[in-house]
Every structure is written in C-alpha cells, then in structure tokens.
A = this chain, B = another copy of it.
C-alpha cells in the first residue's frame, strides 16, 4: 500500500472488530497495521482470520499497539468501561481514535476522552456506521428541504433484537462492570443518534423515560424507551430492547413531508438501501385512497457504510497528519450530544420517570472543566 494510507492498530479482538477490519481493507485508505490482545494467540488468530498482511504487527497487549510509533490511529472496540483508560492513553500517545459506541459510561467520561483528544490534537470519531451511508446524506437532503419536508415535528426510532439466553447471561452488554448502560448504551445509542440526526443535532430540552424499563438481575437495562422534548414542541420517542424481534425503524414527520425506513442502522442489503418519502400527501375525493402515495428511493454504494466510515476517518486523520489541519469537531460533538441524552434517559429512570433537563446536565459537566465548545 502507498505510504499515504493511515496505519491502524486495533485494541482487542471483539466480534465487531472483524467487521471493521474488513471495512479497513475495503476503504483502501488505511492499513491493518497492528492488533493487540491480552492473549497473543488470540491476536495472531485474529490477524490471520481477518486479512491482516503478513507484515502486520501482532501484540500480546494493548500498550504495545499504542506505543508503536508507526500506528497512526487506533480502533477501540473494548468494553465500554475500558474506554476511558485506553482512549486517553491512546490520545496521549498522539493516536487518532476511532472508538466504539457507547463512547463512555456517562458524559463525564466522554468529556475526559474528548479533552484528551483535543489536548493532543488527535481526531476523534465514534463507530456509528450508518452516519456514513450515502443514503443518510440523501435523507438529510430531504429533511433539509423546506418545500418537501418542512419543519420537523416528531420523530420515532426503534432498535430491538431478540437476544438468546447465552447473550442475556454472558454478553459484555449485559454485564454491569463491562457495559453498564446495557441496551440503552448499545441499541439505545442508535435510537438517540437517529432522533438527534433528524433534529439536525439540536439537543432536546428535556427527556422523560418510558415507565417500562426492564433490568436483568444485575441491574443492567435490557429494554427501555423515552420521549425527548424540544423547546419548540418537537418530540422524539424511542424504544430499545434486547427482548424483541430485530427492528430498526426511523420515522420523521414534518409539516410537509414524512420519512420512513426500517433498516436505518444496518441496511437490509450491503450495496443498496432505500427509504420512503411522502410529500404533501392528501386523500383522493371521498378519501378513497392517497394522492400522492409515498415513494421509495434507493441509494447504491460500492463499498459498505463501515468502509465509508473508515474512509472519512482516514481522510480527517490524513489532513491532520499531512497538511497540519485541525481535528474535525463534528464527530466528538455528536458523540457528546448522544451521551448527554443517554445520561438523561438513565437519570429519568433513576428519578422515577421525572423529566430531566438536558441543560442542567450540560452545566454539571462543565464543572469538570470541559470547554463549552463541546456542548453545542
């Protein structure tokens, strides 16, 4: 590969790292340069199974990956509770950071990570792949079109899947010491990001959890939902769960248009994805049908959304590395906003389903010395 490719090191051999390794290969802008695991045998097997070149470095620790001076950036798919330690260490070693979601266990952790990235001039991006699908850009065009969509008034998202008994007992995402946010941090992350995306990332004023959260024996959320309210009356609602059939809905309703899709996070197919838009729909005479009917739009992509994510990340890293650019603030800002809402959902559940104001959480996090630039 050319010297200009970004050399990526991977911390850990999580299942999701297999998908991202493939994405790194497909991106053609990055090299699978190193992988580290607490077990060197696991790292070796991972490298062999996932298309790492023969020259790739295989380490028996995470430290060695971030200490390797040839690693430009790290991809971190570790359990959430380990993010703060390894993300901060990586940033301090000037490694750009592609970090799995949820970014941290709460906004205070996220702020520590983002402050470390900012202090060290490294790019931060979380692993929310669907943000990078060309369909998402096409849907944004629709939502931004005042004549077609108008003003957003409500958005509903849902991400659920039926976890099997093994998952519900043993997966990292149901363990309080590994991924304490459970379903809220895992599937709920996407629901909240979807709502914020539809709202053009304007933070809601308040969040109220639905009164039916389900916890496992260890107290981890395995199903929950919430409503999000904006000052202007917009409302977002979501439901996330490990207990029901795989469902991935986003519906945004505006004064003039409606957007529907049923696979917003992972498209039904890898190379094409569609959405339904409805514009100024009305009824035929006597309401015997609709006119116009909603229409389906299909967007194709040569490479999958996760490879486009790697490309975008590497483009930003390359600009910093080769052209002295500043890190792009969009991505850390989105991660922080998503986390603020997740925190508010959790707080609302803990407070007996009270409305939790987002603004107070924001001021609270300021006490930790985080600059206001992250907050808007």
Interfacial residues, chain A to chain B (CB-CB below 8 A): 18-19, 22, 150, 153-154, 156, 158, 160-162, 206, 208, 210-212, 214, 223, 225, 227, 229, 233-235, 237, 239, 241, 243-247, 249, 251, 253-258, 260, 262-263, 266-270, 276, 278-283, 286-290, 293-294, 304, 355
Task: Name the B residues within 8 Å of A156 (CB-CB).
Answer: 156, 158, 237, 239
> Counting chain B CB atoms within 10 Å of each CB, which of A150, A229, A251 scores highest?
A251
> Could you pull out 10 A-B pairs where Cβ atoms are within 8 angstroms?
A153-B241, A154-B158, A154-B160, A154-B239, A156-B156, A211-B227, A212-B235, A245-B253, A245-B258, A247-B258
Asked if A288 contacts B270 (CB within 8 A), the reply is yes
Number of copies: 2
> Quick one: given A229-B212, A237-B210, A256-B245, are A289 and B269 in contact (CB under 8 Å)?
yes
Besides the known contacts A246-B282, A269-B290, 7 further A-B residue pairs in the complex with CB atoms under 8 A apart:
A18-B286, A153-B243, A210-B227, A223-B233, A237-B237, A245-B278, A246-B290
Report whether over half of chain A's contact residues are helix, strand or loop; otherwise say mixed.
strand
Asked if B162 contacts A280 (CB within 8 A), the reply is yes
Asked if B251 contacts A249 (CB within 8 A), the reply is yes
Q: Smallest CB-CB separation from A257: which chain B residue?
A: B245
Bound: A156/B154 CA distance, A: 13
Q: Smallest CB-CB separation from A205: which chain B residue?
A: B211
Bound: A281/B235 CA distance, A: 29
Q: Smallest CB-CB separation from A235: which chain B residue?
A: B212
> Counting chain B CB atoms within 10 Å of each CB, which of A247, A279, A355 scores highest?
A247
Asked if A244 contacts B211 (CB within 8 A), the reply is no
Instruction: Name the contact of A294 in the complex, choosing from B18, B19, B262 (C-beta under 8 A).
Output: B262
Instruction: Name the contact of A225 in the complex, choosing from B154, B246, B289 (C-beta under 8 A).
Output: B154
Asked if A247 contacts B211 (CB within 8 A), the reply is no
Task: Name the B residues within 8 Å of A286 (CB-CB).
Answer: 18-19, 22
Bound: A263/B276 CA distance, A: 13
Asked if B289 contacts A160 (CB within 8 A), the reply is no
CB distance from A210 to the nearest CB of B (A): 5
Bound: A212/B267 CA distance, A: 32
Q: Smallest CB-CB separation from A281: which chain B residue?
A: B246
CB distance from A248 to the nearest CB of B (A): 9
> Quick one: given A212-B234, A260-B249, are A154 and B241 in contact (CB under 8 Å)?
yes
Task: Name the B residues within 8 Å of A289 (CB-CB).
Answer: 266-270
> Quick one: given A156-B158, A162-B255, A210-B227, are A290 and B278 in contact (CB under 8 Å)?
no
Instruction: Name the contact of A287 in the complex, choosing from B251, B266, B282 (C-beta under 8 A).
Output: B266
> Quick one: given A225-B154, A251-B249, A253-B160, are A262 and B276 in contact (CB under 8 Å)?
yes
Task: Name the B residues within 8 Å of A283 (CB-CB).
Answer: 246, 266
Task: Name the B residues within 8 Å of A279 (CB-CB).
Answer: 245
Asked if A255 contacts B235 (CB within 8 A), the reply is no
Asked if B211 contacts A229 (CB within 8 A), the reply is yes
Task: Name the B residues within 8 Å of A281 (CB-CB).
Answer: 161, 245-247
Asked if B237 contacts A212 (CB within 8 A), the reply is no
CB distance from A191 to the nearest CB of B (A): 12
CB distance from A111 to the nearest CB of B (A): 28
CB distance from A273 to the nearest CB of B (A): 10
